[in-house]
Amino acid sequence: MFLGTYTIKVDEQGRFFLPSKFRDQLVDGLAMVKGQEYCVSVYPLSQFEKLAHAGASTRTSLREVRDFQRLLGSGGGDDIPDKQGRVTLPVQLREYAGLERDAVLTGVIDRLEIWNPEAWEAYITKQEPSFANLNEAAFASETGGTATA
């Protein structure tokens, strides 16, 4: 599971250090793809492969499915962290998310997300007031009723 919020630095080559607590979960590789709201989503490679296979079995006769697959995969990349826990973000993903030197890495339970710091602050500011309602909507279908944190 991925939890927490971290400030990271991206160097001139697009490399950043993974927080040490996540390195074991990503030692076999990771996939980085465009996330919603202009962030970068980072998945363990094995988990992303399962998601990709499930998505590939979706009806590609639907334009929306093809569009999503193209946008998701075209700017993505995979990597294996080096011995120091460094990973390289592809240029296309850095541009997509507006990432320069400073970035915010957040744990989102099944994945990590990398955000432009200003975009992350704006997102949190907008979403915090409705957090209780979001919780209820997100988990009610999983529990068969109303969920509480």
Claim to verify: residue 66 and residue 127 sit in the same structural domain? no
| Average pLDDT over every residue of 31-52 | 93
> Rounded to 5, what percent of the chain is helix, strand, coil?
45, 25, 30
Claim to verify: residue 104 and residue 121 sit in the same structural domain? no
User: Could you tell me which of 48, 39, 51, 104 has the C-alpha nearest to residue 79?
Assistant: 48
Q: How crowded is residue 33: how many other Cβ atoms within 10 Å of its Cβ?
A: 23
Q: What pLDDT is recorded for position 64?
A: 83
Q: Can you read off the two tokens belonging to residue 14?
A: 């697009």
Q: What pLDDT is recorded for position 71?
A: 81
Claim to verify: residue 66 and residue 87 sit in the same structural domain? yes
Interval 80-89: pLDDT, tens: 999 999 999 9
The number of distinct structural domains making up the chain is 2
Indicate if the pLDDT at residue 90 is higher than 80.
yes
Claim to verify: residue 81 and residue 99 sit in the same structural domain? yes
Claim to verify: residue 46 and residue 65 sit in the same structural domain? yes
For residue 87, the domain's CATH number is 3.40.1550.20
Angle between helices 45-56 and 63-74 (to 10 degrees): 160
Interval 98-145: pLDDT, tens: 999 999 999 999 999 999 999 999 999 999 888 878 776 676 655 555
Interval 6-27: pLDDT, tens: 999 999 999 999 999 999 999 9
Claim to verify: residue 91 and residue 121 sit in the same structural domain? no
Residue type at 143?
T
Claim to verify: residue 123 and residue 136 sit in the same structural domain? yes
**Going by DSSP bridges, is the β-strand pair 86-88/15-17 parallel, antiparallel, or unpaired?**
antiparallel
Q: What pLDDT is recorded for position 141?
A: 58
Range of the domain at 61: 5-115
Claim to verify: residue 59 and residue 127 sit in the same structural domain? no
Q: What pLDDT is recorded for position 79?
A: 96
Higher pLDDT, 120 or 76: 120
Claim to verify: residue 36 and residue 74 sit in the same structural domain? yes
Claim to verify: residue 61 and residue 127 sit in the same structural domain? no
Q: What pLDDT is recorded for position 125?
A: 94
Q: What pLDDT is recorded for position 149?
A: 47
Claim to verify: residue 76 and residue 106 sit in the same structural domain? yes
